[in-house]
A and B are shown apart, each in its own frame.
Chain A
Amino acid sequence: MTVTAEDELSLTFAALADPTRRAILTRLSAGEATVNQLAEPFALTQQAISKHVKVLEGARLISRSRAAQARPCRIEPAGFEVVADWIDGHRQLWQERYDRLDRHLAELAAGPAEASGGHTEPGGAAQ
């Protein structure tokens, strides 16, 4: 994973870490909404909602239309791919790791004679 991808990931996760922002995303998954409309279900000022919207916008999880004066917000599906890619990458790493662990366990169960160099003294197995 590149440094740029990690920066983007941090930004995305930081944006997603807040429950109000996740609630905003849930609302937007049902369709576009203006900041006024987003503020309605929350006991928050429009100003506070605007701050959350800016963070989500910065993480490219949502975008705001420039066409209308109220500038409605909408979900940006591409922003969520960063999260999906992260999860896929880690799942694959652990899957391969545990596959190898299973093979290691099988060698241990088969006994030292079957294990290819597995039971050397500490320091003897690596150069």
Chain B
Amino acid sequence: MTQPGEFTYRRVHRASPELLFDCMTQPEHLTRFWGPDGTTTPLDGITVDLRPGGVFETVMVNVADGSQYAMHAVYLAVERPSRLAWAEPDAEGGMVTTITFADLGDGRTEVVTHQANVPAAYATPEGQAGFQTSLRRFDEYVSGLPLN
């Protein structure tokens, strides 16, 4: 059951899990599709340090007025090609995004995106010492969440 403050979005794409995982994690791919309609995501604004604890940052630029929206995230899970998760401690009080890639065996892949708002108290650990512990806790929290 989806709880309030979470949502799940499912899509089937005609591509392998490996290619889809790479699209989601390589700046050269991300720059082509990441921003919502009406925005661009310049390559030089994308940072990907693809490991648990590594940063994932993008800057989305509004085409109409040039205004910018920066996303600051930290990877929680990097398991090519099946699973990817990151946390955005400063987005909407704390946000965790988990994406799973399931091979349908016919050249298609089901991509399930799950987002959960996580209270800021969990998302902004005090000091570097507690950071890794918090990330593990985050990861456990996310893996314990029902997917629909």
Partners in one complex: yes
| Interface of A toward B, CB cutoff 8 Å | 1, 6, 9-10, 12-14, 16-17, 22, 80, 83, 86-87, 90-98, 100-105, 107-108, 118, 122-123, 125-127
A104 touches B9 (CB 8 A): no
B111 closest partner in A (C-beta)? A98
Contact B44 A13 (CB under 8 A): no
How far is the CB of B121 from the nearest CB of chain A, in Å? 9
Interface size on B, residues (CB 8 A): 34
**B88-121 Cβ-contact flags toward A at 8 Å (1 or 0):** 0000110000000000000000010101010110
Q: Which B residue sits closest to A106, measured CB to CB?
A: B14
- The 7 nearest A-B residue pairs measured at CB: A10-B93, A126-B43, A100-B33, A126-B42, A13-B5, A16-B4, A101-B33
CA distance A49 to B29 in the complex (A): 51
Residues of A within 8 A of B83 (CB): none
Most buried by A among B19, B44, B93, B115: B93
Which one of A87, A91, A95, A104 contacts B29 once the chains associate, using CB atoms below 8 Å? Answer: A104
- Docked-complex contact B120 and A10, CB < 8 angstroms: yes
In the complex formed, the residue of B with least CB distance to A9 is: B92
Give Cα distance in the complex from A22 to B23, angstroms: 38
Chain A residues within an 8 Å CB radius of B32: 100, 104, 107, 118
Q: How far apart sit A105 and B37, CA to CA, in the bound complex (Å)?
A: 17
Q: Name B30-74 residues within 8 Å CB distance of A.
A: 31-37, 42-45
B145 at the interface (CB under 8 A from A): no
* Contact A125:B43 (CB < 8 A) given known A1-B92, A13-B5, A83-B4: yes
User: Does A10 lie within 8 Å of B9, measured CB to CB?
Assistant: no
Which residues of the other chain, B, contact A105 by a CB distance below 8 angstroms?
13-15, 19, 23
A43 to B113: give the CA distance in the assembly, Å.
37
User: Which of A13, A14, A102: most chain B CB closer than 10 A?
Assistant: A13
- How far is the CB of A98 from the nearest CB of chain B, in Å? 5
Is B128's beta carbon under 8 Å from chain A? no
Q: Is the CB of B7 within 8 A of A90?
A: yes
Closest to B14 in A: A105
A117 to B: closest C-beta gap in Å = 9
Complex interface: chain B residues within 8 A of A91 (CB): 7, 9
